[in-house]
């Protein structure tokens, strides 16, 4: 995805840019390290970069506005209201935000007892991010270890670990998560994130195992083994760097699933429960007020969507960056540009604008690749 997707279709393909593109392609051939190639490809992925910027600004907003609370230790933020303090209703609780920049007292509005919704949404987003990050980190570590061990050592270790994985994978994630959330949900976001992470790893473990099974048969692993490398050296220096793409991409997607999972659990009442706040819990709490105070429903929902969408786009960018087969598409000959050229009478470009079908390996492609 590129131009169209981010509403950025106007960018002209200048001579300079196509030269730039060419040099990148040439540099890839020149032999940069894989990390550099991946990083450059990622930074050129417009959708992913835009998502990254949005996500970082969201995180800044969320963590500076109402401050932080770590183990009872409190860092104040710049926002005037706390997420628990009730204040007199301003304007009947309606959002006071007048577009574009006149925020007023309560930009997102207030709930029926006068708590500031902006502060509550910020707090909820913090909690949701905590659950998401812990879930992602723990599930990734367990998934990699289980997948790597069973894929590398095979044999009975593999059998035992994979049967155990089957055991967990057979229960729908939301069911297992709901049962665990019912047990530990009232203990707060950190505990919930850790516990959910403990059951979120099986799909990743299967992927990593598959990757290890195919990589360990490759010649470079044989070469390393013949040269006398130990198992741990082969795993960490030879196989894992080659499997890192799969790991990073699926961890990202796992995290976007995690934020939706947390929201769904809290919505059902099996996740974070009042008086603590999370995005799903907010929607659950204000569910009945929907027809009278719709803003109570919209803001938390929009934050969930924004975060999940950003992470999905970043995951997509990473997938493209790690996939050596992906090349870029011809941006100049896109259908809309042809139409535009035709409508405005500049039909000279039509000469080379036929529906040319290029193979994906064709280096003349530029722009966003497929998913």
Q: C-beta of 245: minimal distance to other proteins in Å?
A: 16
| Maximum separation of any 2 CA atoms in the chain, in Å | 77
Q: C-beta of 244: minimal distance to other proteins in Å?
A: 21
Q: C-beta of 336: minimal distance to other proteins in Å?
A: 6
- Please name the residue that has the structure tokens 């995290």: 255
Q: Quick one: which of 53, 56, 179, 356 contacts other proteins (CB under 8 A)?
A: 179
Q: Which stretch binds other proteins (CB under 8 A): 21-29, 223-231, 240-248, 308-316?
A: 308-316
Measured CA to CA, the distance from residue 238 to residue 3 in angstroms comes to 37
Cβ proximity to other proteins: between 6 and 224 the closer is: 6
Contacts to other proteins from residues 36-65, by CB under 8 A: none
Strand extents, DSSP E, 19-170: 68-70, 73-75
Considering the rule CB under 8 A, would residue 260 count as an interface residue with other proteins?
yes
Cβ proximity to other proteins: between 51 and 221 the closer is: 51
Helix, strand or coil for residue 70? strand
Considering the rule CB under 8 A, would residue 329 count as an interface residue with other proteins?
yes
Nearest to 248 by CA among 309, 316, 173: 316
Measured CA to CA, the distance from residue 120 to residue 85 in angstroms comes to 10
Measured CA to CA, the distance from residue 231 to residue 235 in angstroms comes to 6
Considering the rule CB under 8 A, would residue 283 count as an interface residue with other proteins?
yes
Considering the rule CB under 8 A, would residue 22 count as an interface residue with other proteins?
no
DSSP assignment of 171-192 equals S-HHHHHHHHHHHHGGG-HHHH
Cβ proximity to other proteins: between 145 and 341 the closer is: 341
Q: Quick one: which of 50, 131, 263, 321 contacts other proteins (CB under 8 A)?
A: 263
Measured CA to CA, the distance from residue 109 to residue 296 in angstroms comes to 8
Measured CA to CA, the distance from residue 25 to residue 366 in angstroms comes to 10
Residues contributing to the site for other proteins (CB under 8 A): 1, 3-5, 163, 166-168, 170-176, 178-180, 182-183, 256, 260, 263-264, 267-270, 280, 283, 287, 290-291, 297, 301, 304-305, 308-309, 312-313, 316, 329-330, 334-336, 338-339, 341-342, 350, 353-355, 359-360, 367, 370-371
């Amino acid at each position: 995805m590129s131009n169209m997707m981010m509403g950025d279709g106007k960018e002209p393909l200048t001579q300079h840019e196509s030269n730039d593109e060419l040099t990148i392609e040439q540099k890839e051939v020149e032999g940069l390290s894989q990390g550099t190639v991946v990083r450059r490809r990622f930074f050129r992925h417009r959708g992913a970069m835009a998502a990254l910027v949005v996500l970082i600004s969201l995180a800044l907003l969320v963590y500076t506005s109402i401050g932080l609370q770590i183990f009872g230790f409190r860092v104040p933020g710049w926002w005037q209201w706390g997420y628990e303090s009730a204040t007199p209703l301003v304007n009947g609780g309606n959002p006071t935000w007048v577009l574009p920049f006149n925020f007023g007292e309560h930009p997102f509005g207030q709930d029926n007892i006068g708590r500031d919704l902006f502060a509550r949404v910020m707090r909820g987003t913090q909690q949701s991010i905590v659950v998401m990050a812990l879930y992602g980190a723990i599930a990734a570590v367990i998934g990699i270890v289980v997948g790597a061990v069973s894929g590398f050592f095979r044999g009975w270790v593999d059998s035992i670990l994979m049967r155990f994985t089957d055991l967990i994978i057979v229960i729908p994630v939301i069911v297992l998560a709901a049962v665990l959330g019912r047990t530990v949900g009232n203990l707060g976001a950190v505990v919930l994130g850790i516990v959910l992470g403990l059951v979120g790893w099986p799909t990743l473990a299967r992927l990593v195992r598959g990757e290890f099974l195919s990589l360990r048969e490759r010649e470079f692993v044989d070469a390393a083994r013949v040269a006398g490398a130990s198992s741990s050296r082969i795993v960490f220096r030879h196989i894992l760097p080659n499997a890192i793409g799969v790991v990073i991409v699926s961890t990202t997607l796992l995290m976007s699933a995690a934020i939706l999972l947390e929201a769904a659990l809290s919505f059902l009442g099996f996740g974070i429960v009042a008086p603590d706040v999370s995005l799903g819990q907010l929607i659950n709490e204000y569910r009945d007020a929907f027809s009278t105070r719709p803003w109570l429903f919209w803001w938390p929902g929009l934050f969930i969507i924004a975060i999940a969408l950003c992470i999905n786009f970043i995951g997509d960018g990473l997938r493209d960056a790690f996939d050596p087969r992906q090349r870029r598409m011809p941006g100049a000959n896109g259908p809309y540009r042809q139409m535009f050229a035709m409508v405005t009478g500049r039909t000279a470009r039509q000469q080379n604008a036929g529906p040319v079908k290029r193979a994906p390996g064709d280096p003349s492609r530029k722009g966003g690749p497929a998913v």
